[in-house]
Amino acid sequence: MKHIFFDLDRTLWDFDTNSKAALELIFEKNNLGDDMRSFQSFYTTYKKINGKLWSMYGKGNLTKDVLRVKRFEDTLKSFQINNRELAEKLAEEYVNTSPYQTNIFPGTIETLKELKANNHELHIITNGFKEIQAIKLKNSGIRDYFDIIVCSEEVGKNKPAPEVFQYATNLAKANPSDSLMIGDDYLVDIVGAERFGMKGILFDPHQSYRDGTHDWHINSLDKIPGMIPWIKKTTL
């Protein structure tokens, strides 16, 4: 596998930990505890709403700008707070706080170093917002490991659309049959890539998927280098 493509959020950059830290900062800054039971209740509600809206965004049913504000507006409404201005303020503070958090998964740096040392070309394919993902990569110290960074909004479609993988492999001058996709979302990252002709490794740090979901199913990034020779054998 000459070319290795990684997802970013929840694969290298620990989205859940970083997002929660950012939300707690803006919760405290805006004294939201005065109107809500606790940060945990706010966070649980936000996470549920954000997940639903991201699913709509991924299917092309919601724009980026609407998503950014609506997730906070709907969360506030869940606590009987109808305040569009506050929702816009929280949205702005969140995008100015979250990407500057720097938690990455254990083994990220070591794995990337080993893969580069083994002459693999590394790339990113993400459904995240371009300007946000660039900050995450830079501040977490991993940008320089990657040659090509593709955000799906550049294509006008989101993973698992084949156009995204086509665009990325074209930019990298990579043959799909000699390319590997690593991500945490089975349908979006792995099924999408394999339907395009790539190989895939499902990264599942929280063991959210049952055993047998995929042939190449790991819960630790440091298993990747040792797995690649075995994946190569299946393509011969």
Let me know whether 124 and 84 are in one domain: no
Mean pLDDT, rounded, for 41-66: 93
- Is the pLDDT confidence value at 236 over 70? no
Let me know whether 149 and 195 are in one domain: yes
Q: Which tokens sit at 101?
A: 């958090």
Let me know whether 142 and 201 are in one domain: yes
Query: Does residue 172 come out as left (phi exceeding 0), alpha (psi in the -120 to 50 range) or beta?
Result: alpha
Let me know whether 76 and 140 are in one domain: no
Residues making up the chain, counted from first to last: 236
Query: Which of 55, 83, 100 is the last residue in one of the domains?
Result: 100
Let me know whether 139 and 117 are in one domain: yes
- Is the pLDDT confidence value at 37 over 90? no
Q: Which residue has the tokens 């707070």?
A: 81
Mean pLDDT, rounded, for 148-154: 95
Query: Which of 84, 100, 116 is the last residue in one of the domains?
Result: 100
Let me know whether 111 and 156 are in one domain: yes
- Is the pLDDT confidence value at 35 over 90? no
Let me know whether 114 and 94 are in one domain: no
Instruction: List pLDDT tens digits, range 113-127.
Output: 999 999 999 999 999
Let me know whether 60 and 131 are in one domain: no
pLDDT value of residue 228: 94
CA distance to 46, 68, 98, per residue, from 57 (Å): 16, 11, 19
- CA dist., res. 201 & res. 70, Å (int): 33
* Domain extent at residue 140: 3-14+105-235
Q: Which residues pair with 6 in a beta bridge?
A: 124, 182
User: What CATH code is carried by the domain that includes residue 218?
Assistant: 3.40.50.1000
Query: Which of 48, 77, 100 is the last residue in one of the domains?
Result: 100
- Look at the chain and report how many structural domains it folds into: 2
Let me know whether 81 and 157 are in one domain: no
Answer for the pair 4, 180: CB distance below 8 angstroms, yes or no.
Answer: yes
pLDDT value of residue 235: 65
Identify the residue with better confidence: 84 or 233: 84
- Is the pLDDT confidence value at 43 over 70? yes
Let me know whether 112 and 90 are in one domain: no
User: What CATH code is carried by the domain that includes residue 29?
Assistant: 1.10.150.240
pLDDT value of residue 113: 98
Among 82-86, 188-192, 194-198, 230-234, the minimum mean pLDDT is found in 230-234
Let me know whether 89 and 171 are in one domain: no
Mean pLDDT, rounded, for 59-78: 94
- Is the pLDDT confidence value at 34 over 90? no
What's the chain's average pLDDT? 95
pLDDT value of residue 214: 85
Let me know whether 65 and 174 are in one domain: no
Look at the pTM and tell me if it is higher than 0.75. yes
